[in-house]
Amino acid sequence: MEIVLARHGETAANAEARMQGHLDIPLNERGREQARILGDWFVAQRIEWSRVYVSPLQRAWQTAEIIVSRTGGPAPQREPALIELTAGALEGLVQEEIVARFPRFAERHVTEIGDFSEFGGESYEAVQERVRGLRRKLEDAHRLLEDRILLVGHGGFNFQLLKAMICEPVPRACIVRMSNCSATKVRLRERHGVFMGELVWHVPQELMGGAAAP
């Protein structure tokens, strides 16, 4: 099985460096253009898939619709497990507001990144359980080697899913920059009794012909 992960295009909140989480914000014009570039790049690279699963948040859904309008292929299907991490009271705030209201956020160690439980959001453990549940679902449905699926979601959750697919054990701290409308391909297969992934490529927009992310 092959999985292609795509992050949604830019929103007004992304442009302002505002924490989104579950805030349901649409793409801005740059985000729509990023999605068009990604769709055209898939066509140029002859990358196709048998299924498209998408986060229910509109920024991801709009991205998927634009991609499919350029590439053709199967219609997107909503997958609730792909929704972004919940950031609790941090949602809607820019970095300066977060640090002013929640100084602990800036003081956290790198191993605490991805855990929003102390701010009323999703815990790291809850996110990992969501990742494991989605992996089991995908593996049960698409275990054949020739199956390729496209997942359109968010930087936070896509990153956690990528870690879980390519690392055993899964590290708490790992840095992979998933910019808007970047794409990542992982090939999963049985390795010594474990269904693990191989990172094949990770491509940002600027390598697809789009402008570099700020």
> Which one is catalytic: 2, 10, 79, 84?
84
11 beta partners:
27
Tell me if residue 207 falls in helix, strand or coil: helix
Amino acid at the residue 92: G
3 beta partners:
149, 186
Q: How many CB atoms lie within 10 A of CB 169?
A: 6
Longest Cα–Cα distance in the chain: 50
Is 125 considered catalytic here? Answer: no
Whether the CB-CB separation of 176 and 186 falls below 8 Å is answered with no
Tell me if residue 185 falls in helix, strand or coil: strand
Compute the distance between CA of residue 159 and CA of residue 174 in angstroms, rounded to an integer.
9
> Which one is catalytic: 8, 33, 79, 142?
8
Return the C-alpha torsion angle 46, 65, 13, 21, nearest 10.
Answer: -100
The two structure tokens encoding residue 130: 């969501």
Is 84 considered catalytic here? Answer: yes
Compute the distance between CA of residue 202 and CA of residue 214 in angstroms, rounded to an integer.
18
Q: Which residues are catalytically annotated? A: 8, 84
